[in-house]
Chain A
């Protein structure tokens, strides 16, 4: 399966994240899965004309393009010209290259939230008129249009995340190479459901603090970060706390809130990232699937029942009260 990888208006971080793949490493995984890289800007030998020739041959249909991976937002500005990002040496806007290649691709994959939805490049007043391949923030459309389907009949596959986890990318590519991905394997935003049907909250090491609404108040506290620190783990679709990052980590285990980087528009939450917006003391962003009245009732009850250990540890940076050892004889 031939994969062509382009970097558009992003930071290259999704590629760098990919290089952190393990057991086996990224190149071994791709090779073992029958995936060959036609060209990748960070890894391939070919430069200049040689590289452009590979792109041209895909557009001409001479080289079959099984998967087009695009990393980074598509920059439409200034004034729709795409001149904020010209593919070096070609004088042509990257958005034109992407349009021509997407028209040929059997599958089109957006690697990362920039390519999927616009991402941080589209933050504030979006100075470069950045968008995703098939989304402009929450709105379907983007560079290729809401009606775009690759040759396989699928919409753009959005491996969202800022950056994406190497496992999300590799498993998507391997699935495409092995027996394909069906429309039902993608969620309503085009994200592979194998990781997007989960919430960051699942498996978070702070779950016990969450249960008792024992909350962190400042950076480095151990408590749940939902109430005061802006954590969106209960709403963000991703398996970050079940599938470790860099061998051992996740945002919430790293001491900071989930900012829901797999969601369209995460770059502009409408409030400071490290604050939880509240109305009448109640966070407005309630957990997915939870009616507000239940949340309020449950939170009040659980707060009144918080064990001293959990309450004390919530505002410390290491456990200061350890679980008691008690022989109940009831086990």
Chain B
């Protein structure tokens, strides 16, 4: 056996270090470390509740609206306030814009450039991958950056600026949209759709979201081949490299989604936990969540629910190897992200992919792109439904004593905020971010987290400083380490 420490991992958001044990060129055990700690939960204690809206988005510059929406949802829960329909539409539009822009950034700038590395020079698809996806120089970056920036104009209008807006409020949105702005937003969404259909999919969004099985996906691919668009290019590479056999988390065939895009009490994407072993959907209740500090550089014992949990760094803790705590659902490891959302929401392609090979590098990327195709038409519907002149925000006070829970979905998966308010101040604030679930360290039973399990069995030849297969597995989760360790 040999052990090595890998880092820095770039093209992930934030700081990540891996410690890998390998046997005969295959990973036998992995430890995931988030080597950065900033202390947001400590910073929030003692502040007035509304100040969380300023502090919390600054946990993360890539999913700051998600953090805002989780905080606003937790505060709204504590305040007993519900946004008016326009406020909910505006909030959903902001969250969707960020989530889709994240998927796009991940695919084009973080994930695909690895297939343009010299190590793949002999592959049949290499020349095309290199021309299109090479880091910084590839043609795709020049296509996607302007399209992304223009799509973000939605946030210029709805959020004032991105990242770190304050227009997301417990009572809705602080930014009312006028009739002409509504028209402009619809036009931006349609323009973005056209870009996606031309460059990413080479087909109508509805054709993509209508693909109902893995067989149908390959039929779609075979009809026109890899040059149809960037999704097809990925499919060609994935088939050639068997990315569906890479990065499966055998002990974590549980897919969590908090559900997302709430409107009048209904969620566009369902909430629940899909149990891949029994192929059944289980209810998710936040009471079933615990965080465990046994392998984190954190003070405290065992596992507790976020409403009674606390965060106190303890670098001397001997069993610790990460700043990340270990969240568990009913004591078990779960994974989350776009694939989980689509599986929980019963999308037939996502369910079929997971039935065939579980969550793996291939199915996770497909889950993300499928979600882009599904959400853009919804965004257009929300924007069209905005009623200029009607309210966007409901005014409400914060009670002196209350608690609140905000469960939403960021691009990378389940994000939860738990707040306890006493004497008009934040007494306790606990956050579990998507990558905290996926990149969790071991728990008190010694069970490794989702990525730690997914890496076992990955080819990692001893002489290779930074095995590519390991990088594909890591990036397929689209980790956000700054959220993880907040």
Contacts and interface: CB of A to CB of B under 8 A. Distances in A.
A89 B155 contact: no
A124 B43 contact: yes
B392 A220 contact: yes
Q: Pick the most buried of A11, A20, A25, A259: most chain B CB atoms within 10 A of its CB.
A: A11
A267 B39 CA distance: 14
Nearest to A28: B142
A89 B5 contact: yes
Contact of B160 (A47, A48, A119, A252): A252
Contact of B166 (A10, A244, A251): A251
Interface stretch (A37-45, A136-144, A184-192): A37-45
A95 to B, nearest CB: 12
Interface in B217-249: none
B190 interface: no
A322 to B, nearest CB: 12
Contacts of A39: 10
B172 interface: yes
Interface in B27-85: 33, 35-39, 42-48, 50-51, 53-55, 58-62, 64
Q: Pick the most buried of B10, B155, B395: most chain A CB atoms within 10 A of its CB.
A: B10
Given A43-B135, A219-B393, A254-B165, A85 B153 contact: no
Interface stretch (B109-117, B359-367, B407-415, B441-449): B109-117
Interface string B155-198: 11111111111110101111110100000000000000000000
A317 B8 contact: no
A14 B61 contact: yes
Contacts of A78: 313, 315
Contacts of A130: 38
A318 B156 contact: no
B124 interface: no
B166 A11 contact: no
Contacts of A254: 158-161, 165-167, 174-175
A140 to B, nearest CB: 23
Contact of A86 (B35, B50, B113, B173): B35
A18 B296 CA distance: 33
B61 A17 contact: yes
Contacts of B388: 318
Contacts of A318: 176, 178, 388-389
Given A12-B60, A85-B15, A88-B15, A251 B38 contact: no
Contact of B6 (A89, A251, A272): A89
Contacts of A22: 146, 149-150
Contacts of B199: none
A146 interface: no
A37 B136 contact: yes
Interface string A229-269: 00000000000100011111111111111010100000100
B137 to A, nearest CB: 8
Nearest to B177: A318
Interface string A123-157: 11101101000000000000000000000000000
A90 B50 CA distance: 39
Interface in A1-30: 7, 9-17, 19-22, 24-28
A3 B116 CA distance: 23
Contacts of B171: 219
A52 interface: yes
B110 A127 contact: no
A215 B39 CA distance: 36
A246 B61 contact: no
Contacts of B47: 124, 272
Nearest to B60: A11
A68 interface: no
A197 to B, nearest CB: 21
Nearest to B395: A218
B136 A47 contact: no
B466 interface: yes
Contacts of B24: none
B7 interface: yes
Given A47-B466, A88-B35, A219-B174, A27 B58 contact: no
Interface string B138-158: 000110011011101101111
A184 B60 CA distance: 34
A95 B449 CA distance: 30
A87 interface: yes
Given A246-B152, A254-B165, A48 B43 contact: no
B27 to A, nearest CB: 15
A49 B465 contact: yes
Given A127-B313, A318-B176, A89 B156 contact: no
Given A19-B149, A88-B9, A249 B157 contact: yes
B393 A47 contact: no
B105 interface: yes
A193 interface: no
Contacts of B61: 10-17, 163
A225 B62 CA distance: 28
A22 B151 CA distance: 11
A165 B173 CA distance: 23
Contacts of A73: 38
Contact of A42 (B110, B142, B466): B110
B8 A20 contact: no
Nearest to B109: A43
A250 B313 CA distance: 37
Nearest to A320: B389
Contacts of B142: 25, 27-28
A42 B11 contact: yes
Given A27-B136, A28-B142, A162 B164 contact: yes
B341 to A, nearest CB: 22
Nearest to B172: A220
B482 interface: yes
B378 to A, nearest CB: 21
B209 interface: no
A320 B131 CA distance: 54
A256 B35 contact: no
19 contacts: A10-B61, A11-B61, A11-B482, A13-B61, A19-B149, A22-B146, A24-B146, A43-B135, A46-B10, A83-B315, A85-B37, A86-B17, A124-B43, A127-B38, A220-B392, A245-B160, A254-B165, A255-B175, A318-B178
**What 6 A-B pairs come out closest when comparing CB atoms?**
A254-B160, A13-B61, A89-B7, A88-B7, A246-B156, A255-B174
Given A119-B58, A163-B61, A255-B160, 18 more contacts: A11-B482, A12-B14, A12-B60, A44-B136, A75-B36, A85-B37, A88-B15, A88-B16, A88-B35, A120-B43, A124-B42, A124-B44, A127-B39, A220-B172, A220-B173, A240-B161, A247-B153, A247-B156
